[in-house]
Amino acid sequence: MTARLKEKYDNEAFKALQDQFKYDNAMQVPKLEKITINMGLGEAKENPKIMESAVEEIGLITGQRPVVTKARKSIANFKVRQGMPVGAKVTLRGDNMYVFADKFFNIALPRVRDFKGVSKNSFDGRGNYSVGIKEQLIFPEINYDKVDMITGMNIVFTTTAKTDEEAAALLTALGMPFEK
């Protein structure tokens, strides 16, 4: 069984993008390559339990175990030593990526307070889109009572698009709610 968003891409978005940008070759049509979810946890240096709960929460949200990222070098002002855990990240590809994107577009984002759409200014110039989330509570898998600390996360949608315009058209076709 393929993901619902993957079927939407294959049946609707692919043809629409091909017609809109007049691609000669089907391989030129942009597609979603990967989704990277990153959670920085500088507070984990004082309380290692925060890292454990964050790893568990990202695992629940994505359905995949995250990698704990460690500090590359020591920074005295932040009281960080080389090798200390400072965050967690997950890279989603394939069906997991499409399932997460579908859940993010249709369930999580509408749960954000005063949500009017995501900004169109968060493209990086090479067809990738980044969005920051202030709290992990917007995901339905997170039990509000078991949350120790509200943490944010960065979500990066990496596409094969060459320009931001193509990437915006792709994400719009997939259902990303951009602001008007």
- pLDDT score of 159 more than 90: yes
pTM over 0.75: yes
Which of 17-21, 147-151, 154-158 is the least confident region? 147-151
Partners of 155 in the beta sheet? 37, 131
Pick 78 or 64 by higher pLDDT: 64
Partners of 132 in the beta sheet? 154
**Mean pLDDT of the region 67-77:** 84
- Are residues 132 and 171 in contact, defined by beta-carbon separation less than 8 angstroms? no
- pLDDT score of 169 more than 90: yes
- pLDDT score of 85 more than 70: yes
Distance of CA 123 to the CA centre of its chain: 13
* pLDDT single digits (tens) 95-138: 999 999 999 998 888 888 888 888 888 898 888 999 998 888 88
pLDDT band at 45 (very low <50, low <70, confident <90, very high): low
d(CA 145, CA 160): 40
pLDDT band at 139 (very low <50, low <70, confident <90, very high): confident
Tokens (6 digits) for 179? 């602001």
- pLDDT score of 91 more than 90: yes
Q: What pLDDT score was predicted for residue 111?
A: 84
Dihedral angle computed from the Cα positions of residues 161, 166, 168 and 169, in that order, rounded to the nearest 10 degrees:
-120
